[in-house]
Amino acid sequence: MNVRVARAAWAWGRGVSWRCGASSHLLPPSGAVDVEELLRDATAAEEGPREASVRRLPGQCSVLLFPGQGSQVVGMGRGLLRYPRVRELYAAARRVLGYDLLELSLHGPQEALDRTVHCQPAVFVASLAAVEKLHHLQPAVIENCVAAAGFSVGEFAALVFAGAMDFCEGLYAVKIRAEAMQEASEAVPSGMLSVLGQPQSKFTFACLEAQEHCKTLGIENPVCEVSSYLFPDCRVISGHLEALQFLQKNSSKYHFRRTKMLPLSGGFHTRLMEPALEPLARVLKAIDVKKPLVSVHSNVNGNRYMHPKHIQKLLVQQVVSPVKWEQTMHAIYERKKGTEFPKTFEVGPGKQLGTILKSCNLQAWRSYSHVEVQEADEDPD
């Protein structure tokens, strides 16, 4: 398992020095990682002598969590530039994206970095660069990884880490996804509302009443839906801005303890994103997706991906489906009483996933660490 996981985890790392063409067409850049050769090597290693694979105790294993949109901050990546291959990652990203992602990540401005079209690729690359740092400082964490999960766009980074797709093709898919979601968000004034509730909160009823309110304003087919399950009694609701404003104004009626508009430009993970489905589906069909060699859990249902077509289907469905992160945390960390928890590492900007883990499973959170991506190294430029 040591060799298998280590090889799978660094499928993306071998690809950054290869040619990643410009992405002005619908197919992913040519010259990607030779994933097939890598997987053949990994399979051969797995089927080798049994002594090469040592069963590890739960406390010796690790889980990697990849953040999503909203975690971006100017300066991210500065704390990673001294580590091997990180600059190569950003150089490859520049060829795929057609602009200097490292410059934008380091120096902003924040308004530009916050745009969906920019922040999704930025978070994706910074997260995989954080994996490089983690591998350099604690290689055993990578070798002993048993599971990975990513929040929304973070799921693409988790799949690249697990060897399901190479870095350049994964980034190209994120580019297309981000552009399509940006366009969809600009078509309808919409947003996302974080809601901290309590056991008696009426999320579904609240959304239905908000939709009815929108109809009285002349809005046809209004959208107001739970778009993320974060932890017990905490949800993100997405939809038309008028619906979200209604919920804020009437929060006490639905037993909401606190509401807060998120700094995101659209009603993501609802049917408002349907225009983004076809472009993403098209590019994913053109990518050589492999079965992950590390368990990766889907946002759509919290379950592990089992085969490539499953990945291609659910990554598209994810755009218009709620992120079931709370369910994913339960799936990853459920275990018999007295069993040790794996070490968990959040790789990427921010510590939001660690905060959520603490509310989902306090015992699992006690083994949580964050890989810093923003702290400046000496002479980073």
Question: Mind telling me the catalytic residues?
Answer: 152, 269
d(CA 124, CA 158): 9
d(CA 335, CA 329): 12
Report the candidate in 195, 207, 23 with the shortest Cα–Cα distance to residue 99.
23
Report how far apart the first and last C-alpha atoms of the chain are (Å, whole number): 38
d(CA 374, CA 265): 24
**DSSP 8-state code for residue 189:** -
d(CA 305, CA 299): 10
d(CA 274, CA 215): 21
What is the DSSP code string of 115-142? SHHHHHHHHHHHHHHHHHHHHHH-HHHH
Residue linked to tokens 């399979």: 43
Q: For residue 129, with 0-12 CB atoms within 10 Å meaning exposed, 13-18 middle and 19 or more buried, which class applies?
A: buried
Residue type, 149: A
Residue type, 354: G
**DSSP 8-state code for residue 304:** B
Structure tokens at 30: 């040519």
Task: Say how many CA atoms lie within 13 Å of 262 toward its Cβ.
Answer: 25
Residue linked to tokens 């973070």: 154
CA distances from 371 to 79, 137, 138, 217, 316 (A): 10, 10, 11, 47, 29
